[in-house]
Chains A and B, each alone.
Chain A
Amino acid sequence: MPTVTFEQPNGTATDVEVAEGGNIMRAAVTNGIAGIVGECGGQAMCATCHVYVNPEDAASLPELSEDEDEMLDCTTAERTENSRLGCQVSLGGALQSIRVAVPSGQV
């Protein structure tokens, strides 16, 4: 099964298994990962599942849609070039594992 590693601001890391096609936000919420809210249930409408993707994994990700891009301007923690919305990044296929850092704030 694909795996997401969530790294918290305090350095602790948690591995979570995801079903083929599952996204990072859903994996976090289902497994009670602190710091991922996912208020809007995955519609790229709330900007509360912001993560920083490990730069080495970034190249294998789908491109930002316009919706995700504008919503990333509304994150509480600073947007960087590694910022993504967890709900817009699905695992599976060539992407079998990814490491993401959870920001210090989502609201």
Chain B
Amino acid sequence: MSTAPATCPFTGAQATPDTVPVHAGTESAVREAPVADWVKIEDLYRDPFPIYQRLRAEAPLHWVPAVNRYMVTSYAACHEIEQDEARFSANERNSLMKRSMGHSMLRKDNPEHQVDRDSYGATLRPGTIKKHWNGIFAQNNEKYLGELLAKGPGADFVWDYAAPYTAENLRLICGFHNATQQDMQRWSQTMIDGTGNYADDPEVWAKAAASSAEVDAAIDQMLPYLAKTPDHSLLSNLASMPIPLEAIRANLKMTIGGGLNEPRDVLATTVWALLQNPEQLQAVRQDPALLPKAFEESVRWVAPIGMYPRETTQELVLEGVRLPAGARLGVVLGAANRDPLVFEDPETFNIFREKKPHLAFGGGVHFCAGTWIARAQVAQVALPAVFEKLPNLRLDPSTASIDAGWVFRGMTKMPVLWD
């Protein structure tokens, strides 16, 4: 056992909060959920944050017809849901994610969830990251940052760097030695589009099904190979475990959807935010040890997964609002992370703010299994190199960057210049 001072490379500097989230409103009279019929999907997609401000100020949760769910926007209510899987089930009925990716651990409750979760073993844990993945991330980063440099100023930070870099990392973490990073990107996007196919567009389902079949075939090919030639990947670990193939397939698809777009988006959003805040940019340039703080503030400010579903198992009262049994909820992390009852001046990106627990990685038994992988590949490997290798990095003033999305939010376009 080591007794050296904490040497976690992932989280950076110290902080001293000892507060717990404020739970307000439970003692007031029980009311019905207000209806927010003014909320429109296209407005959420463009910029959800003014909508979240208005919703949160009015009630901790609303029935939102356009989304066909109750949207839960207060920190306290989101936190209560995360910590109580008995009343708030992850195993929702008519789940689009189940249809798109199969029934993964993300849509199971315990004890079933834990069996799947344990089957991922040590692959995603800090010890394996330090011993094994960090070196691989550094190699991949050199390669894809090199490709961005070769493309020259005006290249797109997301599509020419962040996407291929995080896709290649995830390819190796999963153990898809029979696929390319481009395959990973296509699989991720098409299956995520299926998960969000509320419009029931048959073309979206066709693309998701095609990717799902490709992933199945790739897994079938890799499992016997990795059983004989083991490595540190998830599939290698699973090859020796008594886990049903159906669960392996669903869990890998969930991991493809949850392990690529999100680190890609955090990487781009963090750089975008820093480039628009000259004082903070100057601070991280002078002291790269601040970059893990910038990462945590970025996922608070714009949670890459902005909403996820839960379903009530019984009639209950949540933060003073009555919900029927079987109510479909959207836990809006993107709103909870900007709750002024918890975060001061919450709409502002500020790496120096008082540190408090944000909900961007979720909480409770479904706490993101890739949290430490994300911190390592983005905050520890990519960000320091970006600011070192791209002198005077800046947004291209001639072509505007675009940030978009609400269930998933990130940069869809980010042309950059450097000297």
A76 to B392, CA, bound (A): 32
Contact with B along A55-83 (1 / 0, CB 8 A): 00000000010110111111111111100
20 contacts between A and B (CB under 8 A): A8-B18, A29-B83, A39-B361, A40-B363, A41-B364, A41-B366, A46-B367, A46-B371, A66-B127, A67-B122, A67-B125, A71-B126, A73-B6, A73-B7, A74-B126, A75-B6, A81-B3, A105-B17, A107-B17, A107-B296
A72 to B14, CA, bound (A): 14
Q: Which of the segments A13-21, A30-38, A90-98 contacts the partner chain?
A: A30-38
**Closest A-B pairs by Cβ, 9 of them:** A74-B8, A40-B367, A70-B127, A41-B364, A35-B18, A81-B3, A79-B6, A41-B365, A105-B16
Given A46-B361, A70-B130, A81-B3: 4 more A-B contacts, CB < 8 Å: A39-B357, A41-B367, A64-B1, A74-B10
Any A CB within 8 A of the CB of B186: no
Residues of B within 8 A of A37 (CB): 20, 357
Any A CB within 8 A of the CB of B404: no
Any A CB within 8 A of the CB of B19: yes
Any B CB within 8 A of the CB of A102: yes
B interface, over-half SS: loop
B375 to A, closest residue via Cβ: A74
Q: How many B residues have CB within 8 A of the partner chain?
A: 37
Most chain B CB neighbours (cut-off 10 Å) among A29, A33, A41, A80? A41
Q: How many A residues have CB within 8 A of the partner chain?
A: 38
**Interface positions of A (Cβ within 8 A of B):** 8-9, 29, 32-35, 37, 39-43, 45-48, 64, 66-67, 69-81, 102, 104-107
A102 to B, closest residue via Cβ: B18
Given A39-B363, A77-B6, verify A107-B15 contact (CB < 8 Å). yes
Contact with A along B1-29 (1 / 0, CB 8 A): 11111111011001111111000000000
Q: Is the CB of A105 within 8 A of B125?
A: no
A37 to B, closest residue via Cβ: B357
Any A CB within 8 A of the CB of B394: no
Q: Is the CB of B364 within 8 A of A9?
A: no
Any A CB within 8 A of the CB of B355: yes
Q: Is the CB of A107 within 8 A of B355?
A: yes
Given A32-B20, A70-B126, A107-B15, verify A76-B356 contact (CB < 8 Å). no
A10 to B, closest residue via Cβ: B18
Q: Is the CB of A69 within 8 A of B6?
A: no
Q: Is the CB of A106 within 8 A of B357?
A: yes
Q: Is the CB of A34 within 8 A of B367?
A: no
A50 to B, closest residue via Cβ: B6
